[in-house]
Amino acid sequence: MARPITLFTGQWADMPLKELAPKAREWGYDGLELACWGDHLDVEQAARSKTYVREKLELLADNGLEVHAISNHLAGQLVCDPNDDARSDMFAPNNCRGNAEAKRKWAVKAMKNTARAAANMGIKVVNGFTGSPVWHMIYSFPPVSDSMLDKGFERFAKLWNPIFDVFDKEGVRFALEVHPTEIAFDIVTARRALAAVNKRKAFGFNFDPSHLHWQMVSPVKFLQAFPDRIYHVHMKDAALTLDGESGILSSHLNFGQPGRGWDFRSLGRGGIDFEEIIRTLNQLGYTGPLSVEWEDAAMDREFGAAEACDFLKALQFPSSDRVFDEAFGD
């Protein structure tokens, strides 16, 4: 059976859900992965009001859409982020802005409520970010000691374990989108993050190959490294555009600007081998959604969203229950 194809609504949060839902169905999607910002999903309301949840689910159902996961990247980022500059102010309520610990306290509460909201919606997976106390130490100058990094992973565990306790209570799992600026951004750090929380089942990964590809980490090897921790899958493409002058650190150039060493692309228009990813997901027995996180600074997003859905529909194929030469057997 083909996996459901969904659209992550984070890049569409400027569009009311009642406007986006019929468009997504017209483009061919089976469902939406709801972002917990804009008017798409308010986790405070969804955690306490089953009427609010019912209205959201009915809106989707009226458009022939399902929901398999919700995503709260913005609040999740503030749990472990240093929160010491204005970049993260936009993610938090106005009364928290400029106050690192107020932002953190709000974020912890929001992530606990996200687990409760998911449970009220009958959903088993929340995607998101964790933030990182040590991302700013990625380059070891000024010198970074092993103990500094150890303390960073310990802080991640200290801050997130109480959140995961609520996830466990609600029967929901958290899927970290492995990503630069998070506690895990590649295979090595993903292993270390799992170890930091004693490999508790509440914590796994939202596999997104785009963030691995531009770092020159194999997306397929990531899947093979964590076969039982792939709780959700994002589909997003990326392209390395290194020309001898550019680098993978992006040169402080924004997405879409000439001279960047890499950029996100609409599905099938970058450098990722999605067929090998599908084959590997088949081998792992992953049956969850393939969720398009559409990002391409040079393409109209509605054209791109429709094209991406068609790309995935053509790419999916069911696993075989035999080796082809077995047809010659008795």
Q: Which of 15-24, 54-63, 111-120, 310-319 has the lowest mean pLDDT?
A: 310-319
Q: How far apart are the C-alpha atoms of 121 and 106, rounded to whole Å?
A: 22
Domains annotated on the chain, with CATH: 5-328 (3.20.20.150)
Instruction: Tell me the pLDDT of the chain averaged across its residues.
Output: 96
pLDDT at 223 exceeding the cut of 80: yes
- pLDDT confidence of 54, banded at 50, 70, 90? very high
Give the gyration radius of the chain's Cα atoms.
Answer: 20
pLDDT at 24 (0 to 100): 98
pLDDT in tens, 93-118: 999 999 999 999 999 999 999 999 99
* Helix/strand/coil (H/E/C) assignment for every residue in 180-193: CCCCCCCHHHHHHH
pLDDT at 277 (0 to 100): 97
pLDDT in tens, 167-190: 999 999 999 999 999 999 999 999
User: Which residues have a Cβ under 8 Å from the Cβ of 250 and sit 6 or more positions away?
Assistant: 260, 261, 262
Structure token digits, residue 165: 């306790």
pLDDT at 330 exceeding the cut of 70: no
pLDDT in tens, 283-305: 999 999 999 999 999 999 999 99
- pLDDT confidence of 318, banded at 50, 70, 90? confident
- pLDDT confidence of 328, banded at 50, 70, 90? low
pLDDT at 218 exceeding the cut of 70: yes
